[in-house]
Amino acid sequence: MFCHEAEALWETEQSHDSYMTMASAVVLSLCLIGHGKDHAVHSYAKEALSMGTRLSLFESQEKHANKELLEKMSQDDMTVRCHAAWGVFNWNVLVSMFYRQPESECPVTSPTLPIPGDEAAKTVPGQLPEGDYLVHEALLGNTFPALCHFWRIAYGARWIYYPDEDCPPDKFKMAIAEHKFRELIAWAEGLSHCLVRREQSPHHVAVFHSPDAAFAASVKQLKTLIVEYRTNYMASAYSILWHSGLIYLANAMLQDTSDPEWRLYFLLCIYGYESLSRPYRISEVIAQGLLSMTLRDTNMSAREARKFMKDLKEFGLDYVKKNMEEEVRATFMLDLTLALSNPVGATVENLAKEFDSFALFQDFIDQNRMEI
């Protein structure tokens, strides 16, 4: 209901370029991920980027005029402008790399404006601000600038995986990849103490570590992150932001079923999606895709996989069930190994569609085993 109202408001407001309207498009794009409306996710992200370009938040040919405008701008307006620019930049880089789809649009340049709160993010390692500032300004003020730096580094490395006509020659790929890796290490080492995981950290600090763990840290680290977040934070039942960690952990478990704990942590991921299936219908589709991979790659029985799917369907809210006749689009990668050779077959929606076929095939195998 709220999404429908927000989209209706967008139809009336989109003709007026403003920072608030642009930020609203980003929030809409983010919200619709959980409802399986990938076309709208891409559309709103691109609209926000286009609006930001028209508002001269990114590189343009009017540098001199923009400089004069910025010099006359109040501090409050500058703060809003910087947050809007980097918010749109971060989101579009994330969407373009997460989905790997032609309709995803990556910014041509990073914002011309400074990263907001950058000074606040330079807290001396080992020191914490005092009082209420610690709870509010310090953590939130440190998280956003740190993420801006992260996505700027990722943006610089993006062409290695998604080359275009302006890319440097292939012979430089290794050197640039090593340089970006060093940048990520320096970024991680420079994080303020406010962003270090510890007891009673706010939930956004735990979410902040998930992408880093997914791409760079060990599977053991990712296991710990998922268990901590699922156990200690109520937001794990209503925030979709941590689910990328579930995808990476589930993939890691399926790639090494010799690990005696693989099944335990894989089911932890499935149950994580079960709790998210109440507010987000996409969760059921992701879980179904993961179960397809499990039927394909392990000896899980079809009966057990169907039981999990039955529980997922029953756990969802009534309004989610009523909307299931609407097509769910989930074009981001789920099988991270298959994605390297067959991106289309590795998407969430295509793997979910294979569930019944894999289950029938597993029924056949199980029957043969019983007869033997």
pLDDT tens sequence across 66-98? 565 666 777 788 888 888 899 999 999 988 888
Check whether 201 has a pLDDT greater than 70: no
Whether 365 shows a pLDDT value over 50: the answer reads yes
The mean pLDDT value for 186-204 works out to 69
Which of residues 253 and 117 earns the better pLDDT score? 253
120-124, 135-139, 207-211: lowest mean pLDDT where? 120-124
Q: What pLDDT, on a 0 to 100 scale, did the predictor assign at position 316? A: 65
Could you identify the residue written with the tokens 């980027």? Answer: 49
Residue 183 · residue 153 · CB < 8 Å: yes
- Give the range among 10-19, 48-57, 286-295 with minimum mean pLDDT: 10-19
Calpha distance 338→234 (Å, rounded): 33
Dist CA 354 CA 289 (whole Å): 8
pLDDT at 68: 59
pTM, 2 dp: 0.67
In the structure encoding, which two tokens stand for residue 16, read together?
A: 């007026």
3-state secondary structure of 348: helix
357 — pLDDT class (breaks 50, 70, 90): very high
What local confidence, expressed as pLDDT, does residue 155 receive? 87
**CA–CA dist 28, 88 (Å, integer):** 12
Q: Whole-number mean pLDDT of the chain?
A: 78
183: exposed, middle or buried (Cβ count in 10 Å: 0-12, 13-18, 19+): middle
Q: Please state the rounded mean pLDDT for residues 273-284.
A: 87
Adjacent-strand bridge partners of 333: 347
What would the pLDDT profile of 35-50 be if each residue is shown by its tens digit?
Answer: 778 788 888 999 999 9
First to last CA, the chain: 54
> Partners of 347 in the beta sheet?
333
CA 300 to chain centroid: 28
Phi, psi of 232, deg, nearest 5? -105, -10
